[in-house]
Chains A and B, each alone.
Chain A
Amino acid sequence: MKKIEKEVADRYFREKNRNIIIYFIVWFIVSYGVVLFAEPLSHMTFLGFPFHYYMGAQGAVITFIILLFVNAKLGDNLDKKYGIDESKNEQISSGRALDH
């Protein structure tokens, strides 16, 4: 076990949070944003759907799925950048679960 700079660990935390904030902004626009402006958006059509209906039925869900995969992949990259080794994580967490 070696000590690392708290500054480095906090940079990891900040980078991760910055990504999460971006994901949540996109999440908000495709779901709540479209609902808030549903009436004006209903005059546009997309693939034969009124646009607001398309976003509710498909667009938002597809965006959510993409965001989750982007998060998983970028999370892996971030771990790599900070030298986190997944096999060691597994080793550590398997000894960690507590049950009373």
Chain B
Amino acid sequence: MDVQFLVSLLIILATFALYIGIAIFNTAKATSDFYVASRGVPPIFNGMAIGADWMSAASFIGMAGTIMLLGYDGLAYIMGWTGGYLFLTFLLAPQLRKYGRYTVPEFIGDRYDSHTARVIAAICTIIISFTYSIGQLSGSGVVIGRLFEIDAKLGTMIGVVLIAFYSAMGGMKGITWTQVAQYLVLIIAYLIPVIFMSLQITGNPIPWISYGDIVGKMGEIDRDLGISEYFAPFTNGTKWQFIALMFTLMAGTAGLPHVIVRFYTVSTMKAARWSGAWALLFIGLLYLSAPAYAAFSRFILLTQIAGSQISQLPAWTKSWVDTGKLQVADGNGDGVLQWSELVISNDIVVMATPEIANLGVFVIGLVAAGAMAAALSTAGGLMISISSAFAHDIYYRLMRPNASDKQRLKVGRWSIVIATLFAGLIALNPPGVITQIVAWAFAIASGTFFPALVLGVWWKRSNAKGVITGLLVGLAVTLSYIFAAKYGGFTILGIIDTGAGVFGAFAGFLANVIVSLSTAAPSQKLQDEVIDLRYPEQMTYKDGEVWMHDGETETIK
């Protein structure tokens, strides 16, 4: 066991102790003072909690590597995963808060007054969260694999056990303060290496300003090497793929069940608005830094590693080669490692760069702890979405309406364990890099929930038959496109699997609108409920009249 292993492990354990400590402290407080604990979390902290839920292994581990390898084309992830918050905060979150259901299947079931729609929504929730969790598990595999210097596959298996256990325990969800701590660990772990690298390379500690010159310099080196410039647009795909991917990620953001749920826990529509704004500010801190991380990593590899003697490669190469995610083969046998002979997986760039740049054992350990926080906090949220969709919306509402609380809890726990195991099996041989797998989950969300929720909130004429057709058509189109593009080589305008959401969303909207218009309008009560969502809580719409509460003694029923 070397020093690095011990330091990394200690930092990971220390951060875990912190989360558990906060959870225990808060549970104790919650029982004594139930109401204060459930409310009164200011939007700024709620924003951090949303940030922790949101930033997964894909954002933390995968994104900078993807940008490093794709250059400008990778920036679709940056704009897509932030721009979606405008859809969410302007079009959906406040209205869903006013409607007051706790999960997406609940909202769809009640808004459209249809059991079938609820069950389909529950199945979509499971598919989306399941796909997403494959990405998280393969991320935890990278972290654990490096920690123990074992193959990432073995790391994934350990990750499966950890995540199944963590989520089945309750995932420490609903305890906003734990997530605030996770956010802080995660963001500090991300910023420190970027700031150090910035100092090391440019002498300027502010990476966001300093890396512009590095981007320019890399363009020159690339030209000398005869490869396309780092910042040149659309070298890895068409312009339409860029736009389709960006749209998919934006619309998917507004349709992800485990993210939407967070907006139900805020107190009012106003709080939903502010929470959305704070959330994007905190998320933005990482997203603004990822391209800097990518640029510095690439610069270091390009100038310090490429061109060195194969026999004198530093020690970090071996530990990463062991995970199976890095190859340094001397293809032309000249004893020198050329840039083209260095094959690095997107998924290890963030974890490996601090080692490459020699930032010291503490920083490397901190990055590992941050990556674990990202993978675990999101996986917890995903597993809870899966278990509530199955145990509540399918098992309880459909199969066994008279099941006891205890039975439902048991079914919920088992669905977490089974889902994690299955996702783990697929993650052993991940069908893509982390960002790509996660992009599929977003594509499915944008093909199913994005149209169903937007029309549900904004169009009173949309009815049960419309939403059922819309969900099914959107799901079918998205899944077929992903498979056809990935395995069949079928593309339209060069749009590949990750951009599938644009077709799914289009088909989903179209099917919902056509079927809704050609069948009977929903009942007056349902239509009134939709009109009511136009106004703040204090105004209530009923039978064509608007009432203003003076908030004295009445309660709304």
Contacts and interface: CB of A to CB of B under 8 A. Distances in A.
A92 B555 CA distance: 7
- From A1, A82, A94, A95, residue with most partner B Cβ within 10 Å: A1
Contact of B215 (A50, A72, A84): A50
Contacts of A67: 86
Contact of A64 (B86, B100, B264, B273): B86
A80 B140 CA distance: 48
B274 interface: yes
A60 B82 CA distance: 9
B281 A2 contact: no
B408 to A, nearest CB: 12
Interface string B233-258: 11000010011001000000000000
Interface in B194-210: 208-209
B183 to A, nearest CB: 16
A70 to B, nearest CB: 9
A82 B277 CA distance: 23
B404 to A, nearest CB: 15
Contacts, number: 204
Interface stretch (B155-163, B336-344, B544-552): B544-552
Interface stretch (B8-16, B357-365, B473-481, B533-541): B533-541
A76 B277 CA distance: 13
Contact of A31 (B232, B246, B548): B246
Given A1-B548, A50-B231, A71-B273, A38 B538 contact: no
A36 B239 contact: yes
Contact of A58 (B208, B232, B273): B208
A57 B85 CA distance: 17
B273 A72 contact: yes
Contacts of B287: 61
B328 to A, nearest CB: 29
B88 to A, nearest CB: 10
B270 A79 contact: yes
A95 B551 CA distance: 12
B39 interface: yes
B232 A42 contact: yes
Give the residue among B264, B537, B541 with the most A Cβ atoms within 10 A. B537
A99 B102 contact: yes
Interface in A54-100: 54, 56-58, 60-62, 64-65, 67-69, 71-72, 75-76, 79, 82-100
Interface in B248-294: 264, 267-270, 273-274, 276-277, 280-281, 284, 287-288, 291-292
Given A61-B79, A72-B277, A93-B97, A88 B288 contact: no
Given A48-B215, A64-B280, A4 B547 contact: yes
Contact of B548 (A4, A49, A95, A100): A4
B102 A97 contact: yes
A38 B215 contact: no
B106 A53 contact: no
A3 B542 CA distance: 10
A78 B215 CA distance: 43
Interface in A1-37: 1-6, 8-10, 12-13, 20, 23-24, 27, 31-32, 35-36
B334 interface: no
B539 to A, nearest CB: 6
A93 B187 CA distance: 33
A57 B316 CA distance: 29
Contacts of A44: none
A23 B90 contact: yes
Contacts of B280: 64-65, 68
B173 interface: no
B86 A65 contact: no
B550 A1 contact: yes
A24 to B, nearest CB: 7
Given A48-B216, A97-B264, A27 B86 contact: yes
B72 A31 contact: no
A90 B267 contact: yes
Contacts of B239: 35-36, 38
B101 interface: yes
Contact of B277 (A36, A68, A83): A68
A32 B246 contact: yes
Interface of A: 1-6, 8-10, 12-13, 20, 23-24, 27, 31-32, 35-36, 38-39, 42, 45-50, 52-54, 56-58, 60-62, 64-65, 67-69, 71-72, 75-76, 79, 82-100
9 contacts: A2-B548, A57-B78, A60-B78, A62-B288, A68-B86, A69-B281, A83-B548, A92-B537, A96-B556
Interface of B: 39, 72, 75-76, 78-79, 82-83, 85-86, 89-91, 97-98, 100-102, 106, 110, 208-209, 212-213, 215-216, 231-234, 239, 242-243, 246, 264, 267-270, 273-274, 276-277, 280-281, 284, 287-288, 291-292, 397, 534-541, 544-551, 554-556
Given A64-B85, A89-B536, 13 more contacts: A1-B549, A3-B547, A49-B215, A60-B82, A64-B83, A68-B89, A75-B270, A89-B537, A93-B97, A93-B100, A95-B555, A97-B100, A97-B264
